[in-house]
Homo-oligomer: A and B are copies of this chain.
């Protein structure tokens, strides 16, 4: 029989989830986790995981209770993810809860890694602590899409950003395209970048636009800046596909002191790399069957949870044809550019309507004068 949760349980877990997402810009490659300690219906301690290498949510909550002079013995701990059971950079959280003599642990979901799922709960139960799992699990899944996908499949969660006119165009025939969408939509893109473990683009985009692909704190939306101070900004890794070594030494991406990973099949000469301390070369074997999938595997191994893609119609189309996109993020500007203008994504192998990739609407929002539509990939039963 599944565990019955009370509405009070739900309330406390929702608080833990709200705490968890405070780490959304900084915990990668770790998940967002929140923890609430409750005794006699009162919150006596709370915490969340801030940043990889720093204490986990449970430890933060126990410390908070201690600082407030509260005795956690017999308390119920609400955690958004099963407490860890392994010794990593920090001792296992399950052990921390056992030592603190909490009375009960409720987790939203088990550990996503199938090989250790349930181990934390088992450790608790062996210590005589009651536990339950599954409270608000869907919400807990939603706040850690990247981490969960990587743990389950080895691949990052890939989000493709597309900005277009009402008629699906990205630029005039001449290439003129600056600022099709408005200031607010561009600020939203900054916020989306800030949540990503890495940003993926191509040498074609670097050569065409010379973007920095970094977080510019001043351009984040006010509501993000208010919770994410400038001095704690994490710059996502910039991953650039550059098979033919076209990215020049002078590119903007190298002017910003944060990691750039250049992906190709062969090493650059030392003259190029020796003065670029933030550069890492990722070399993939040549003539692979599915080079984009191999790239994703490589990025997964390098602990990239969520990948935010900003690129042109050709690369966008290639990722879609390779079926590697988990979410489409579409910004629609209130303009018409006409059929001579440039298209959104090239899908040269698509000729029949029945083969057109199908998506599922996830959310729609007005952002300034633009519309933001988020779609997730819809798999047909026949696929």
20 new A-B contacts at CB < 8 Å, known A334-B358, A338-B343 = A166-B330, A166-B359, A166-B375, A167-B168, A168-B168, A173-B351, A174-B351, A176-B353, A178-B353, A317-B338, A317-B339, A334-B360, A334-B361, A335-B353, A338-B347, A338-B356, A339-B347, A340-B347, A361-B366, A371-B373
A378 contacts the other chain (CB 8 A): yes
A292 contacts the other chain (CB 8 A): no
A204 contacts the other chain (CB 8 A): no
A172 and B351 contact, CB distance less than 8 A = yes
Q: CA separation between A375 and B334, bound complex, in Å?
A: 8
Partner pick for A168 among B164, B369, B378, CB 8 A cutoff: B164
A14 contacts the other chain (CB 8 A): no
DSSP majority for the A interface? loop
A350 contacts the other chain (CB 8 A): yes
B313 and A336 contact, CB distance less than 8 A = no
- The contact sample of 12 A-B pairs, CB cut-off 8 A, is A167-B344, A167-B345, A168-B168, A168-B344, A173-B351, A176-B353, A177-B353, A334-B359, A334-B360, A335-B357, A339-B347, A364-B364
Closest 7 interchain pairs by CB? A168-B168, A338-B347, A339-B343, A167-B344, A334-B359, A167-B168, A335-B356
- What residues of chain A have their CB less than 8 Å away from a CB belonging to chain B? 162, 164-169, 172-174, 176-178, 180, 313, 317, 320, 328, 330, 332, 334-348, 350-353, 356-361, 364, 366, 369, 371, 373, 375, 378
Q: CA separation between A257 and B357, bound complex, in Å?
A: 41
A317-B339, A360-B334, A373-B371 as given contacts; A352 in contact with B167, CB under 8 Å: no
B residues in contact with A350, CB < 8 Å: 172, 336-338, 340-341
The interface centre, meaning the residue of A167, A317, A328, A357 with most chain B CB atoms within 10 A of its CB, is: A167
What's the nearest-Cβ distance from chain B to residue A1, in Å? Answer: 36
What's the nearest-Cβ distance from chain B to residue A340, in Å? Answer: 7
The interface centre, meaning the residue of A178, A338, A343 with most chain B CB atoms within 10 A of its CB, is: A338
The interface centre, meaning the residue of A168, A169, A328, A360 with most chain B CB atoms within 10 A of its CB, is: A168
Q: CA separation between A350 and B358, bound complex, in Å?
A: 31
A172-B353, A366-B361 as given contacts; A336 in contact with B345, CB under 8 Å: yes
B361 and A364 contact, CB distance less than 8 A = no
B residues in contact with A352, CB < 8 Å: 172, 176
A343 and B172 contact, CB distance less than 8 A = no
B371 and A360 contact, CB distance less than 8 A = no
B361 and A339 contact, CB distance less than 8 A = no
A180-B353, A366-B364, A371-B361 as given contacts; A320 in contact with B344, CB under 8 Å: no
Partner pick for A359 among B313, B335, B345, CB 8 A cutoff: B335
The interface centre, meaning the residue of A328, A348, A373 with most chain B CB atoms within 10 A of its CB, is: A373
Q: CA separation between A167 and B328, bound complex, in Å?
A: 11
B residues in contact with A353, CB < 8 Å: 172, 176-178, 180, 335, 337
